[in-house]
Amino acid sequence: MTSFVRKRGKTWSYYFEIELNGKRRQISKGGFAKKSDAKSAMAEAIVDYEQRNFLNISKVKLDRFFEDWLENTVRPLRSRTTYLRYQSLYDIYIRPEIGGELLTAITPIKVDRTVRNVRAAGRSETTVQHVYGLLRQVLHRAAQLRLIRDNPCEYIDRPKRAKSTTEVLTEPEILAVVNTLDLHNASDYIFYVGFLFALETGCRRGEMCGLEWSDINWETRTISIERALTYVNGHVYIGEPKTEDSVRTLELSPTLITLLRSFRAWQAEERLKLGPYRKHNVFDGLEYDFVFSWPAGNYVHPLWWTKRTPVVMRRAGIDKHIRLHDLRHTSATLLIQQGIDLKTVQNRLGHTDPSMIMQRYGHVTKTMASRAVTELEDAIYGGRKIQ
């Protein structure tokens, strides 16, 4: 860092250079009666700089910084779904509150007020937490770039997400769903295949909707999860799965492979009837041959699965709040109950954080641990009374 003092007229001034947003900038101040006073003040100013105190030089507003962060940090590294979700959260909840504020003017109390106003508007605790999390990420980046001294979000409590009980299907309930579906009805047949596919693979809705027939290797009985079809802000997009770990290859059972072969043959037969009137799925100039599509050829909309699942559950007499995503939880629960190790379950589900498995399915492993003690007791003592 270049720094010096010099006399200008009858007073002394200090000068030093800093780097801000990749550009060199000179900081100066004058009016000191003595050279020693200028040196002392300069030393303090440099310490302030090193401690990231830019209260007098940063004129960047949160709106502008967020837009830059979204385009240059989020867009290249995260999925389109995440990009659009961040944009929506910011526009709805953050921009009206503090978007026009200078970064250096955003205080913990302003962050706290923004978060409280989301809750006061009647939004769910999950939404409140997402708004806080987004603000925390943005301001953390601003602190990294030394535009602010520290992150004001660090001084308020993180909103706690309301605890929710994950509902899963039991084996008798799975059979009840299968038995209630009419396989001669196109909607029921598509749901039947998707239901069993989701249960066995544990795929997310978007991953399932984005699967193409070419992703299936019939010889090795595997599928490659490489993309997701998602519905965000009123539009359907094709893109990458949720995280890097979501890109994975899964082995399928012979039964599911047989089911998919039959499903493909049914689709081909139905589309043959349409001839040139068959519909095509084109996204970003590319055509996709989706596994889950209607007889006419058009893809099954992600929202269809969301709306159809509770309808089928009611028909099957299942008094639970089951979403399509809960089939993913059911798949994981069944794997753990069968004694499959948690690392394998994590890889199969495409989870990035292994702790997520323990947090969500810890109750299952505890039940298994209790059962293991009972079985061990029978093996060791054989029902004999021990004095």
Query: In a structure prediction context, what are the per-residue pLDDT tens digits for the chain, which is 387 residues long?
Result: 678 889 888 899 998 887 765 677 788 899 999 998 998 888 887 776 665 544 445 578 999 999 999 998 888 877 788 888 899 999 999 999 999 999 989 999 999 999 999 999 999 888 999 999 999 999 999 998 878 889 999 999 888 866 666 788 999 999 999 999 999 999 999 999 999 999 999 999 999 999 999 999 999 999 999 999 988 878 898 988 877 778 899 999 999 999 999 999 999 999 888 888 889 999 989 999 999 999 999 999 999 999 999 999 999 999 999 999 999 999 988 888 888 877 888 888 887 766 666 667 766 656 666 666 676 667 676 766 666
Any domain includes 190: yes
Q: How far apart are CA 144 and CA 69, in angstroms?
A: 12
Residue 238's SS3 state is strand
Any domain includes 296: yes
Any domain includes 378: no
For tokens 């799975």, the residue is: 174
In terms of domains, do 261 and 205 share one?
A: yes
Any domain includes 277: yes
In terms of domains, do 189 and 327 share one?
A: yes
In terms of domains, do 76 and 40 share one?
A: no
What the block records as the tokens of 155 is: 């001084």
Q: What is the pLDDT of residue 178?
A: 96
Any domain includes 165: no
C-alpha of 165 from chain center? 19
In terms of domains, do 133 and 82 share one?
A: yes
Q: How far apart are CA 23 and CA 26, in angstroms?
A: 10
Closest CA to 156 of 136, 176, 137, 126: 136
In terms of domains, do 183 and 332 share one?
A: yes
In terms of domains, do 197 and 223 share one?
A: yes
Q: What is the pLDDT of residue 343?
A: 82
In terms of domains, do 226 and 117 share one?
A: no
In terms of domains, do 277 and 356 share one?
A: yes
Closest CA to 218 of 183, 262, 248, 271: 262
* First-residue to last-residue Cα distance in the chain: 80
Does the pTM of the predicted model rise above 0.85? no
Number of domains in the chain: 3
In terms of domains, do 297 and 236 share one?
A: yes
Q: How far apart are CA 185 and CA 222, in angstroms?
A: 28
Strand-strand pairing, 248-251 and 228-232: unpaired
Q: What is the pLDDT of residue 146?
A: 79
Torsion of CA 291, 296, 302, 303, to 10 degrees: -150
In terms of domains, do 74 and 211 share one?
A: no
Any domain includes 160: no
Q: How far apart are CA 40 and CA 34, in angstroms?
A: 10
Cβ(67)–Cβ(28) under 8 Å? no
How far apart, in Å, are the Cα atoms of 179 and each of 69, 191, 201, 250, 300? 51, 12, 21, 27, 22
**Residue 292: what are its φ and ψ, rounded to 5°?**
-95, 95
Q: How far apart are CA 135 and CA 129, in angstroms?
A: 10
Any domain includes 248: yes
The two most distant CA atoms of the chain are separated, in Å, by: 103
- Structural domain including 74 reads 62-155
Strand-strand pairing, 23-32 and 222-225: unpaired
Q: What is the CA radius of gyration of the chain?
A: 29
- For residue 153, the one-letter residue type is C
Torsion of CA 346, 353, 166, 344, to 10 degrees: 10
Query: CA 375, 379, 385: angle at the middle one, nearest 5?
Result: 100
**Residue 95: what are its φ and ψ, rounded to 5°?**
-55, -45
Choosing from 13, 29, 50, the residue where a domain stops is 50
Q: What share of the chain is helix, strand, coil (3-state, %, to 5)?
A: 55, 15, 30
Q: Is 259 exposed, middle or buried (0-12, 13-18, 19+ CB in 10 A)?
A: middle
C-alpha of 275 from chain center? 40
